[in-house]
Structures are given as C-alpha cells and as structure tokens.
Homo-oligomer: A and B are copies of this chain.
Amino acid sequence: MGKIYDVSMSIEPQMPVYKNKAEKRPVFEAISTHEEKGVQETRLCLDLHTGTHIDAPWHMLADGETVDSYALEDLMGPCKVVDLTGVRGVITPQDLAGQAEHGGFLLIKTKNSFSEEFQPDFVYLGADAARYLAEIGVRGVGTDALGIERAQPGHETHKILFQHRIVVIEGLRLAEVPAGSYRLVVAPLKIKGVEAAPARVFLIE
C-alpha cells in the first residue's frame, strides 16, 4: 500500500468551528478519572458538523436521505486533489475545468488548509461550480473549509450537490497533500437517522 495522508482535523476543545460560535465547540467531560476511580472515561458532546465530516441530503433537503443511507462502498474510490490555493472567494467552473472525473471524488485544496483558525472569508464552491460537477457526475466533493458554501441565500450549492446525490465532505486538512491522483477513504461514524457524521478521512497514494 502506498503512503497514507490523514486529511482529518483533530477534534479538541480549541479547534476551529463554523463562525467561531461557542455553542458549536466540542465539550469534553471526564466522567471517571485515574485519581478518583483508577479508570479514565470521557463523554464528548459535539455538533455532527464538527471538524472533518460528511453532510447527507437531509441537512438541507426536508425529504432528503440521512447519513446512514451511504454504504462504505459509496465513500471510497478514485480521487483527485486539485490545487486552488490561488483562488480567492468563490470557486467557479473555470477553476475546475479538466480536473473532475465521472465517478470519482474531487478534493479542493485552498488557502483554507493553511490556517488553524476559522476563516470568515473562506474559499467556497459556487452554485455554478456545483452544477458543473453534477454534469460531470462526480461521486463526491470535499473542501478544506468548514462549509462547502458561505451562507449563500437558499443554500444553493448544497442543494444542487444533494439533489445529484454527490457526497459532501467538509473540514478536510490538505496542507501536506500534493495535487494529484489518490484513492480516497471516508469513514464516518455509523450514526442512524441524522443529517451528518464526523469522519476519519484519508488518502492513499
């Protein structure tokens, strides 16, 4: 097996969260400690969109499927990492031209990967670019921002992707990954009946 790139964000109290909202931070509680009971045990409260995660259609579509509708086979396969670190603001179809492949995953590496802080002006996928990816028929698209779009009215980018059953992966860490072709594995927690799941995600060279 080739080199493995772990492209997952570390979940910890001071990690970046969407818009830096305090209520979106993970909260750790030690329910047993070595000092008191000789065993360490932790309870964690987290928004399902914390760190690296996948969104399911129900996140934005009232009649959309939940995250358990994805089998593991839907979440692994050939993948291209594209370098869009020069892009500011919105990603357009022109930025993606010739990069995406039918049936494959596309991970978008932007300047977001080079900051450990939440970026209010994060680079995001425009609705036109989402339509372009749907036309090509990609299996999934991933971003190193905490959101695939940036508060566009009506959440158009999300909805276009979900309507075409394109897997949406958010919160990737791609700073160390050269642009190129890989095999992608997305391993979300197996959670029933919800709109998203935190995931461990890695690329195999």
Using a CB–CB cutoff of 8 Å, the interface residues on chain A facing chain B are 4, 6, 8-12, 23, 28, 31, 34, 39-49, 51-52, 58-60, 62, 68, 71-73, 155, 185, 187-196, 198-200, 202
Contacts and interface: CB of A to CB of B under 8 A. Distances in A.
B195 A40 contact: yes
B190 A10 contact: yes
A34 to B, nearest CB: 4
Contacts of A60: 39-40
A197 to B, nearest CB: 9
**For the complex, would chain A's binding face be called helix, strand, loop or mixed by DSSP majority?**
mixed
Nearest 6 CB-CB pairings of A with B: A187-B187, A187-B200, A12-B192, A45-B45, A34-B62, A40-B195
A12 B191 contact: yes
Given A11-B191, A44-B48, A187-B199, 20 more contacts: A4-B72, A10-B190, A10-B192, A39-B59, A40-B58, A41-B47, A41-B49, A41-B196, A42-B195, A42-B196, A43-B45, A43-B48, A44-B45, A44-B191, A187-B200, A189-B198, A189-B199, A189-B200, A199-B200, A200-B200
Contacts of A73: 4
Given A6-B71, A34-B62, A71-B6, A190 B11 contact: yes
